[in-house]
Structure 1
Amino acid sequence: MACHIRSVSLPTRSHPFLLKAEEELNKLRACMSSSSLTYEIMLDALKAVGRVYESINDLVQMSNNRNGLSHMQHRRWVEQELEESVKLLDMCSISRDNLDTIKDHVQDLELAARRGDLETVKRKVGDYNLIIKKANRDVKMQILNKNESAEGDSLAVISHLMETREITISVLQSIFSYLSRQISGKKSSKWSIVSRLVEKRTISCKGEREKDSFDAACLRVNVEDLENGVKTLFRHLIQCRVSLLNICSL
């Protein structure tokens, strides 16, 4: 996205808040350019997005930026970002709810695997795939409904908001693409996956973790971490939106 930056009422490019936002954006670009998006990359991306919004929020709250953004020349950009922020909050909320549903479902799958209930595990694996497909559709619907991004001259803070919004959408979409591969993306057939999940308990020589429930338990923890990451991101989005609303009230 090409945005020509003006220096009107902005701190210099070396301002710590601006440098921090640009540094986190660079990390995000690197994360999302990876050919293999792992759980660790998804979690790091969520944290980085939150830090970008935190830095942008610090920039927005600076008095000279507030005055510059409230000027009629730039207010339309603020109003557009406010409109887009509602859609992004909706997307985060929907993603958070879907992750909560997925987490509960994986927990049921884990318990069924521990019991050795082959039929229930088979059904839960199928249900998991359906839930992931629904979550993917929910995110894509929000993407299709969003407005076109504005083009032209804008303040650096607005430019960063626009780019971060696009990357946030990509991160949320990638989370469910990653989760879809955890079961349905494996080369094994559904029945071999089910059989592996409900293998008889195998205790290591140290008497540690059960082999049968390891994969499901690990997936549940991963989903819970991603859900918490989306919750934190949601709070950062709210804070940033409040700051933009305060500008419109000037």
Structure 2
Amino acid sequence: MVSVSHIHSSLRKIVVFPMAASMKTSQHNRSNSVPSAPHPLISQIEEHLQRLKSSDSTSSSSSISQQLNGLQDLHGYATQMLQLPTTQRALAQGCCKILVDELLEGSLRILDICSTSKDALLQSKESLHELQSAARRKRTVGEAALTIDAGKYLSSRKNMKKAIKKAVEILKKFKKENSSDIGTESLSMISSLKEAEVVTLTLLESLLYFVSGSKIQPKQRRWPMVSMLVQPKRVACDSANSNTNEFEKVDETLQSLLSHKPQTGILVEDFLNHMENLELCIEVLEGGIEHLQRHLIRTRVSLLNIPIKY
């Protein structure tokens, strides 16, 4: 049976500068007796990890979008690291198979959660388009048209929240398993990749909470109470100072529209503005998830291309 120390020893080549391979044999042998300098890519991965972990503002679409961009960079660096010849040679050893398998399983889990998030966003967009059409037709076909489509929208939202709740429960289980696997004695690159999985799952959890319009975030952050007053200007989806949950805004405005019929003339215009804001935000979040998926697939392909020696 191969010991953990043997695995760590065989992987130390990963964190050596590429120029070390060109050193003379005597110098190379002597360098094995001293600690190797970390590869620059590891420093970049660590920097992005710290930046993402310190960004705790996930109560708005703009902050989630920014963190999705940060995750794309993080996984881009991870892919570059896995494609290094030194990394490939070290992980190709049979004793490292279990580490590669764990990383592959983790990447598959994250891709599954990404698909769940995309499905929720797509379903939201389709339901929203139907509701927008009903709101615009309201003046010509009467109150019944909006009421029927509003009921369909709210029913769709209810079913979506149930699906998201189940997905979050599975996601939390994945996070717990990954967190328990990270040890202080783990090799820096493997530890960083494991930590990247946890950070990615945490953000996707925030995204699912956001889409469901949940009042409580994973970090016990509460959504601010959304005012039902008519806004003089539209709130842009990417507003840096906005903590508005656009999904919750539409839900609450719809409830107000259905219960305050005497004021429908004002509320319908306000409601249309909120739906346009939500549509823009859905498009931004969809784009962020799609780009993240591409980076995750590249990372997974790099892992699959490692020629494990048995």
What's the TM-score bracket when you normalise by the shorter of the two chains?
0.7 to 0.9
Match of 2:72 in 1: 50
1:140 maps to 169
Q: Is the 8 A contact 1:74 1:154 kept in 2?
A: no
| Equivalent residue, structure 2, for 1:166 | 198
Is residue 2:85 matched to residue 1:26?
no
Paired residues, number: 238
Which amino acid in structure 2 is aligned with residue 227 of structure 1? E
Q: Which amino acid counterpart does residue 291 of structure 2 have in structure 1?
A: T
Residues 56, 92 of structure 1: alpha-carbon distance in 2 compared, 3 angstrom cutoff: same
Task: Report how far residue 190 of structure 1 moved.
Answer: 5.7
Structure 1 runs not aligned, ≥5 long: 203-209
State the secondary structure of the residue aligned to 2:186. Answer: strand
Note the C-alpha offset of 1:244.
0.9
2:128 matches 1:106: yes
Measured against aligned partners, the alpha-carbon deviations of 1:19-62 in whole angstroms (never above 9, x if no partner) come to: 2222221221122x23x521011111111111111001101111
1:93 matched to 2:157: no
Using the TM superposition, give the Cα deviation of residue 229 of structure 1 relative to its aligned residue in structure 2, in angstroms.
1.1
- Find the counterpart in structure 2 of residue 71 from structure 1: 93
Normalised TM-score (structure 2): 0.66
* Per-residue deviation, residues 125-181 of structure 1 (Å, max 9, x unmatched): 343243233233224334436782324443322212111111111111111211233
Q: Root-mean-square deviation (CA), in Å?
A: 3.2
Partner of 1:200: 265
Amino acid at match of 1:178: F
1:191 and 2:195 equivalent?
no
Please say if 1:81 is aligned against 2:86: no
Structure 1 residues 196 and 217, CA, compared in 2 at 3 Å: closer, same or farther?
farther
**Higher RCO, 1 vs 2 (CA within 8 Å, ≥6 residues apart):** 1
Instruction: Describe the superposition over 1:178-220 as per-residue Cα deviations: whole angstroms up to 9, x where unpaired.
Output: 1233455789586315468994379xxxxxxx54411011111
Amino acid of the structure 1 residue aligned with 2:100: V
Shift of 1:88: 1.6
**1:228 corresponds to:** 287
Stretch deviating more after TM superposition (80-89 or 15-24)? 15-24
**8 A Cα contact 2:253 2:271, kept in partner:** no
User: What one-letter code is carried by the residue in structure 1 that aligns with 2:74?
Assistant: V
In structure 2, give the amino acid aligned to 1:24: H
- Asked whether the equivalents of residues 69 and 288 of structure 2 are also in contact (C-alpha less than 8 Å), the reply is yes
Secondary structure of 2:177's counterpart equals coil
Q: How many angstroms apart in 1 are the aligned matches of 2:87 and 2:126?
A: 44
Residue 83 to residue 147, structure 1, CA distance change in 2 (3 Å): farther
1:17 maps to amino acid = L
Quote the Cα distance in structure 2 between the aligned partners of 1:235 and 1:58. 14
Counterpart-to-counterpart distance in 2, 1:45 and 1:19: 19
Question: TM-score, normalised to structure 1's length?
Answer: 0.80
Once residues 230 and 44 of structure 1 are traced to their aligned partners in structure 2, the CA distance between those partners, rounded to angstroms, is: 12
Q: Identity of aligned pairs, percent?
A: 27
Distance 1:65 1:230 in 2: 28
Structure 1 residues 248 and 109, CA, compared in 2 at 3 Å: closer, same or farther? farther
Shift of 1:120: 3.1
**Alignment correspondent of 1:175:** 207
Contact 1:95–1:139 (Cα < 8 Å) also in 2: no
Larger displacement relative to structure 2 (175-184 or 83-92): 175-184
Q: Specify the structure having the higher radius of gyration (Cα).
A: 2
Task: Give the Cα–Cα distance (whole angstroms) in 2 for the partners of residues 200 and 105 of structure 1.
Answer: 23
Q: 1:119 aligned to 2:119? A: no
SS in 2 for 1:100: helix
Q: Does 1:11 align with 2:16?
A: yes
C-alpha deviations, 1:59-103, integer Å up to 9, x for none? Answer: 111111211222344332111111222222212122212211111
Conserved 8 A contact 1:66-1:247: yes
Q: Which moved more, 1:186-195 or 1:162-171?
A: 186-195
Contact 2:64 2:203 in 1 (8 A): yes
Distance 1:180 1:83 in 2: 27
Contact kept, 8 Å, 2:175 with 2:198, in 1: the verdict is no
2: CA distance, partners of 1:136 / 1:105? 19
